[in-house]
């Protein structure tokens, strides 16, 4: 998961003359849950068809030129990247809302996350991180 590569790819897009900005998101595993409990890791799975559908929807928004998504699935530890999103478009008035909608929809419609609060010393080691899947033209 490399936002710099995603951005470089977007800057080389065939419609780069229309791109006025690129906004990005990098989600990482927090060590504390929303309710304040200490988190030792998470397990994440994605619905890849839903991701493709969301990207297709966002690409149709006004001013959006391209959307790229990279996921990291499986058992992840605190500090590991979970989700990278980059949106390229004409103006910030189009790109920022498109980025927010993309991230929110991916979290709501295309992912399932289970936080782990107490684990044995080797349970995270039993299932190594799996490489996720990249979407977009990158």
Beta-carbon contacts of 76 under 8 Å, excluding residues fewer than 6 positions away, are 29, 41, 42, 43, 44, 82, 129
If one counts the domains in the chain, the total is: 1
40 in a domain, yes or no? yes
DSSP secondary structure string for all residues of 42-92: EEEEE-HHHHHHHHHHHHTSTTEEEEEEEE-BEEEETT-EEEEEEEEES-H
**pLDDT category of residue 120 using cuts at 50, 70 and 90:** very low
What tens digit of pLDDT does each residue of 63-86 get?
A: 999 999 999 999 999 999 999 999
Task: Return the CATH number at 34.
Answer: 3.90.1170.40
- Judge whether 97 lies within some domain: yes
**What range defines the domain where residue 47 resides?**
3-120+130-135
* Residue 134: predicted pLDDT: 56
* 116 — pLDDT class (breaks 50, 70, 90): confident
The pLDDT mean for the chain works out to: 88
The answer, yes or no, to whether residue 8 has pLDDT greater than 50, is yes
Residue 125 within a domain: no
């Amino acid at each position: 998961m490399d936002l710099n590569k995603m951005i470089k790819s977007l800057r080389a897009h065939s419609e780069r003359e229309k791109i006025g900005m690129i906004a990005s998101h990098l989600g990482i595993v927090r060590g504390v849950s929303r309710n304040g409990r200490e988190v030792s890791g998470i397990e994440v799975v994605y619905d890849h068809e839903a991701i493709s559908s969301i990207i297709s929807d966002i690409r149709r928004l006004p001013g959006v030129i391209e959307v790229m998504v990279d996921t990291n699935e499986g058992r992840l530890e605190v500090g590991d990247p979970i989700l990278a999103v980059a949106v390229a478009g004409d103006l910030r008035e189009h790109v920022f809302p498109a980025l927010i909608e993309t991230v929110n929809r991916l979290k709501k419609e295309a992912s399932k996350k289970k936080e782990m609060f107490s684990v044995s010393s080797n349970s995270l080691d039993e299932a190594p991180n799996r490489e996720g899947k990249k979407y977009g033209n990158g």
